[in-house]
Amino acid sequence: MIKGIYEARLPVSNLQQSIEFYEKLGLKLAWSDEATAFFWIEDGKSWLGLWAGSEYETKYHPSLRHIAFRVSYEDLKESLHWLHSLQIKAVPFGSNESIEPFVRPHQGNASVYFIDPDGNSLELICHIVVPNALKHINDKLSFKDWETLLADTFE
């Protein structure tokens, strides 16, 4: 029945500024009018809708105003350089002080976070295969620490 997520929406204050930001990320503008814009994330499969209005002032909470974009592991390793080349700053997540991408072995994923011009939380995320011996790790690990653990596990 359910095959995936087709649409997600975010509030924005300045639609034109947001259109430029999301185009800079490589999303393709599908259509827009005076108050909304839709971007293909995966052409014909999933898109992101932006709505201009005061809702962008809603205080951030992890359950609101957040989108995670799927990327490859290799792309995530290069994400800070890519974001920097677009003049976008990565931001720490939760209690982390570092902006570096990190691995969550217990969830089987890795992420880096940044924000759009209205403070909406954006994430680049990839799935990782976690050996059974490492699935108990609840800490957030740097890529360097994760790859060292993997190498040690398979020695």
- Same domain flag for 74 and 5: no
Do 34 and 22 share a domain, yes or no?
Answer: yes
Which of 21, 40, 57 terminates a domain? The answer is 57
pLDDT at 60 over 80: no
pLDDT tens for each residue of 121-130: 999 999 999 9
The total domain count for the chain is 2
Residues 52, 69 within the same domain:
no
Tens digit of pLDDT for each residue in 71-105?
999 999 999 999 999 999 999 998 778 999 999 99
Q: Name the token pair of 139.
A: 């800490």
| Domain of residue 71, residue span | 58-155
pTM: 0.92
Same domain assignment for residues 34 and 73: no
Identify whether residues 21 and 68 lie together within a single domain: no
Same domain, 52 and 62: no
Query: Is pLDDT of 154 > 80?
Result: no
Task: Let me know whether 137 and 84 are in one domain.
Answer: yes
Q: Which residues of 106-145 are buried (b: 16+ CB within 10 A; e: fewer)?
A: eeebbbbbbebebebbbbbbbebebeeebeebeebbebee
